[in-house]
Chains A and B, each alone.
Chain A
Amino acid sequence: MSSTSNNTEIEKIENTSSVTDTEKSLSDSISKKFPNVQITYVNPNRIRVNVKREEIIDVASFIRDELNFDHAESVSGVDYPEDNQVEVVYHLGSYTDTSLNKQILALATRTPREDIPHPGNDNTKLPSLHDVFPSVSFHERECFEMLGVYFEGNPDNRRLLLPEDWADIPPLRKDFAIKGR
């Protein structure tokens, strides 16, 4: 989980004890097609794939079309101020392919972070996966307001949960401190 998003080496840390062939074949097919992609772990029922932001649409389309993942369960944004990056993790699952029902594929990418954020008008931007997985729409809206990651291509980037007149920095950034804590 260190700042390795620019590292293009393929490295795998496998928990070999209970990893089945399904996970191995999934991770192998991704790393075969996209040599720049970094697979950080292959655990039972869980695979994590780190991609660069330029590649995310291609990798996501491949995951949808070839590996049969059909929806996103969650989109979590994680702020890493020490790396000067914000990470966005898409947790993808499959309803249609019964052999993949257990699997969650975490597709993660990182975007530069700015100390004084101007949500939507700064460098913290990612291509939206809305066209690949329509189920991300509200999750990406939430991620935009909570972490200031603007998703280019999402038709709706308005506020969702925060008050309309929220004028502070995105609240899930690490430098937004709760009073008294």
Chain B
Amino acid sequence: MTEQVLPGLQLEKVDDRIMTLNVGPQHPGSGHMRIILRVDGDYIVHCDPDPGYVHRGEEKMAEYRNYITNIPHLERPVIHDSCNILYPYCLGVEELLGLEVPERAKYLRVIAAELNRCVYTQYWLGIYGIFLGHSTMFMWPVGDRELFVDLLEKMTGARVTHSYFVPGGIRNDVPPNFEDVCLRYVNYFEKRIKEYADVFYDNPILISRTKDTGVLSKEDAIKLGTTGSVLRASGVDFDIRKKEPYDVYEELDFDTNVLKEGDSYARSKIPWLDMFQSCRIIRDALQKMPKSGSVRVKLKPNPKGGDAEVYRRVESGRGALGMHIVSKGKPQPYRLKMSVGSFRNLIAMPHLLTGEKLGNLPPVYWSLNYWPVEADR
């Protein structure tokens, strides 16, 4: 094995006209990943995404830790969206162990997940703004995001990496005045994000840079198995919260945002529109939530799953997030596979960037709602 030429280290001969260009892995415009481009003048003729710079072996680690000690490290791939990345894990372990989650915990989970979705989306929107050279759009979302970060700190005790969800409910109940504070914050937040239209989404510079760049047709979006905002921007109405409702999403009032264009503009708009729906969900959940009650079922020490396997999925900030957990009667999972939205949307990147101008790399790349750390796991 050692004598053969290792894959990825082979240098391919490129002719005089075409130049190979490495974007990343430390370039801030690429996130923590490398994109190997071949450019012909100003046009990208070949794109080869090379993730793995921040691969941490989450799946291997999960095989050595029991169901409870897996919680803190599994949320590491997306610390801004840590509730959503733990959600399928908790749902899966609950199915394996046969746990029934208390009603109040289900509502609080939904609220925490939606707050997290907004926190993640704001961070992503800030990066999207700054890489298009729009520094106001970096300052505003990062500033407004603090509201929900504070709210989540009140709720969970940590600004990010909350470790809030546990199999069987949530770690602890919210403080007594949480409902009022949450409602106030959500109303203000909604007012703020409405203003993003004036400064960003209706801005002619943004529109001219993102309209009709990187168009993903509906057929290709389905064929490539994309998910989340990428899929819904291409006209496919698919949101797991609606299609396969988990916890109490079935009882809550919200809509799915779908756009038909499939270009970078539509892809950048969907997460923003989703934040309004998140505000609706949170307000509705606060109203329908039982005012008191237990928030967690007591687990046996070191619970063991049976000889079974589960596949559970949720809608995260970046699309469907599935976890395949194989249990073999041990306190640890036998195998845990995370199917994450970023990794699935990465498949669309070579498809979208080939043939584009080099200057369109940032709007197309960041519109994929791609989080390198999550894709690498």
A residues within 8 Å of B by Cβ?
1, 45-46, 48, 70-74, 76, 78-79, 89, 91, 95-96, 101-102, 104, 106, 118-119, 133-139, 142, 146, 157-165, 167, 171-172, 176, 178, 181
Contact = CB atoms under 8 A, between A and B. Distances in A.
A45 B243 CA distance: 11
A146 B64 CA distance: 16
Given A101-B243, A104-B311, A135-B223, A91 B339 contact: yes
B224 A118 contact: no
Given A70-B222, A70-B223, A161 B346 contact: no
Given A45-B244, A135-B344, A178-B60, A101 B238 contact: yes
Contact of A167 (B2, B8, B339): B2
B168 interface: no
A73 B307 contact: no
A74 B231 CA distance: 16
B1 A138 contact: no
B261 interface: no
Given A101-B244, A133-B225, A159-B8, A138 B335 contact: no
B255 interface: no
B230 to A, nearest CB: 12
B172 to A, nearest CB: 30
A91 B322 contact: yes
Nearest to A121: B1
Contact of A106 (B61, B311, B343, B347): B311
Contacts of A48: 309
B1 A158 contact: no
B59 interface: yes
Contacts, number: 112
Interface of B: 1-2, 6-9, 50-52, 55, 57, 59-61, 64, 222-225, 227, 231, 236, 238, 243-244, 307-311, 313, 320, 322, 324, 326, 328, 334-335, 337, 339, 343-344, 346-347, 376-377
A134 B224 contact: yes
A96 B225 CA distance: 11
Contact of A74 (B6, B9, B310, B324): B324
A27 B52 CA distance: 38
What DSSP secondary structure best describes chain A's contact surface? Answer: loop
Contacts of A146: 59
Contact of A102 (B6, B243, B377): B243
A102 B244 contact: yes
A137 B64 contact: no
A167 B7 contact: no
Nearest to A2: B307
B326 A73 contact: no
8 contacts: A71-B224, A73-B322, A74-B311, A76-B337, A101-B244, A102-B243, A134-B225, A161-B52
B55 A162 contact: yes
A134 B9 contact: no
Contacts of B337: 74, 76
A12 to B, nearest CB: 16
Contact of B223 (A106, A134, A139): A134
